[in-house]
A and B are shown apart, each in its own frame.
Chain A
Amino acid sequence: MIEILQQALFIFATWQNVLLLALGVFIGTFVGAVPGMTTPMAVALTLPFTFTLSPVSGILLLLGVYKGGIYGGSITAILINAPGTPAASCTVLDGYPLARRGEARRALDIALYASCIADFMSNLALILCAGFLASLALAFGSPEVFTLILFSLTIIASVSGDQLLKGLGSAAFGLILAIVGLDLVYGTNRFIFGEVELMSGLNFIPVLIGLFALPEIIAFYGRVEVAREHNPLAGRGAGLGDLRKTLKTIIRGSAIGVILGAIPGIGGAPAAFLSYSEAKRTSKNGDNFGNGEIEGVAAAESGNNGTAGATLIPLLALGIPGDITTAIILGAFMIHGLRPGPLLFQDNLSLIYALFIGIMLSSLYLFAIGKFSIRLISRIADIPHRILFPIVLTLCVFGAYAVNNTVFDIGVMFVMGLFGFMMLKLKIPAAPFLIAFILGPMLEDNFRQSLLMSRGSWSIFFSSPICWFFWLLIVVFVFVLVRRGLSIKLAD
Chain B
Amino acid sequence: MNRNFVSGLIMLAIGVSLVFILIPMGIDTPKKVRYAALSPNYYPYIVAIVLSAIGGAIIVRSRNFQPDDDSPQAHPDAARRICLFLLLLGLYAGALNLLGFVVASMLALVGSLLLAGERRATIIIPVAALLPVVLYLFFYKIANIPIPLGIAAPLLEGL
Contact = CB atoms under 8 A, between A and B. Distances in A.
Interface of A: 31, 34, 37, 41, 45, 165-166, 168-169, 172-173, 175-176, 179, 183, 185-186, 188-193, 217-218, 220-226, 385-387, 389-391, 393-395, 397-398, 401-402, 405, 407, 410-411, 414, 417-418, 422, 425-428, 444, 447-448, 451-452, 455-456, 458
A384 B48 CA distance: 42
A67 B71 CA distance: 41
Complex A-B, nearest 4 residue pairs according to Cβ-Cβ distance, in ascending order: A456-B35, A222-B78, A386-B116, A390-B112
8 contacts: A172-B51, A188-B27, A189-B27, A218-B86, A220-B116, A222-B82, A389-B112, A394-B135
Interface in B96-135: 96-97, 101, 105, 108-109, 112-113, 115-118, 123, 127, 131-132, 135
B55 to A, nearest CB: 6
Contacts of A179: 43-44, 47
Contacts of B70: 427
B37 interface: yes
Contacts of A165: 54, 57-58, 61
A43 to B, nearest CB: 12
Interface of B: prevailing SS: helix
A199 to B, nearest CB: 12
Interface residues of B, number: 76
Nearest to B22: A191
A431 to B, nearest CB: 16
B145 A394 contact: no
A191 B123 CA distance: 44
A176 B81 contact: no
Contacts of B33: 186
B149 interface: no
Given A185-B38, A407-B96, A223 B78 contact: yes
Contacts of A190: 26-28, 40-41, 44
B34 interface: yes
A191 B115 CA distance: 37
A402 B143 contact: yes
Contacts of A34: 138
